[in-house]
Structure 1
């Protein structure tokens, strides 16, 4: 069995990591904050999008799975929304949120799939990278089922038990990448439980 390097278990947290603080600190200052809030209102619950601090400390909304950032959006110094389609190697500067929505139209479906580069990397050496790479799932509970989702992945996996939901999520990840289903049992999975899942587990 392959041993997981210790550094892959390191979890990084900011002392004050609320959205406003991160946007002010890493997104260009207070002047850009209203635009970042507008962008957050658009993307926070939009399937597949996640917010990160990347590169040399830059705030960024991105869409993609398994480390890909196939679509990205940030607020630039002109207070416009810099929209990048990395598959097309193209940039668009949107003046307002309706323009961002127009740019998004027709692009998100393709971004939900792993790129050929991600698949090649994950499958190398008998899927070694996929097995070692920590995959964090978010788990909630509703209407008698646990649901497990992965950042950047729009589909959720459901199960009557927590284990069942996690197993189905692992199988879905393998299916998405074209990995043999038996690899699912070897994936390095961690789960962040939302309040609803915790209450159900505790019988509250």
Structure 2
């Protein structure tokens, strides 16, 4: 029987982007605060990027990451000098940049490479008959527009999947995940997918029932 602690929902007071950045990177420097917002402006709308609180031993830090299984093949955070510290997991290298345009140059080429899982992540997914792929929880954000549901898997750079019904859109998202890892398509029905409906999808589901 699954432990009830597994599904505990944790909430944080004042858990908006600005407060988290200020709490984990305390600074009265307005330039540091502005740099976090500048970084959000660059990455928040880019497919696959996620903002996380990372625990490194006794230290906690906020960072933007691009990668699968909650990991980050690329990560970027703001330093105390209002600069940008950029880490490339594959190269095992960190570089520091003073402007957002330099960050964009650093991303060029790297971001395209990080669209696909690396060898270690594929191995993790394949372990024990694709147990790693099936056990990981994927959040699928669903919206509705122009007669179709659109489903996007958070934390990946996969294109959105579409369907006339909610079932079709979510199932196709699972099939695309399988394709990304080279897994058999029939495994899609066994993936741990959790749908998060945006207002447009919720309203349509309530009205149409499908």
TM-score normalised according to structure 1 size: 0.92
1:182 equivalent in alignment to 2:186: yes
- SS at 1:77's partner residue? coil
- Give the aligned partner of residue 206 of structure 2: 202
Note the 1:24-63 alignment, pairs <5 A.
Answer: 24-31=22-29, 32-55=32-55, 56-63=59-66
TM-score normalised according to structure 2 size: 0.89
- Give the aligned partner of residue 15 of structure 1: 13
Asked whether the 8 Å contact 1:71–1:85 carries over to 2, the reply is yes
- Give the aligned partner of residue 126 of structure 1: 129
Which of 140, 143, 148 is equivalent to 1:140? Answer: 143
Asked whether the 8 Å contact 1:68–1:115 carries over to 2, the reply is no
- Give the aligned partner of residue 81 of structure 1: 84
Q: Which moved more, 1:11-20 or 1:116-125?
A: 11-20
Deviation at 1:142, TM superposition (A): 1.4
Distance (whole Å) between structure 2 residues aligned to residue 147 and residue 35 of structure 1: 32
- SS at 2:10's partner residue? coil
Distance (whole Å) between structure 1 residues aligned to residue 140 and residue 206 of structure 2: 19
Asked whether the 8 Å contact 2:151–2:170 carries over to 1, the reply is yes
Number of positions where the alignment pairs a residue of Structure 1 with one of Structure 2: 202
Distance (whole Å) between structure 1 residues aligned to residue 2 and residue 126 of structure 2: 17
**Deviation above 6 Å: which 4+ runs of structure 1?**
none
- Structure 1 portions without partners, runs of 5+: none
- SS at 2:18's partner residue? helix
- SS at 1:57's partner residue? strand
- SS at 1:93's partner residue? strand
- Structure 2 portions without partners, runs of 5+: none
CA RMSD after TM alignment: 1.7
1:107-163 Cα deviation digits (max 9, x unpaired)? 111111111111111111111222222111111111211111112222111111111
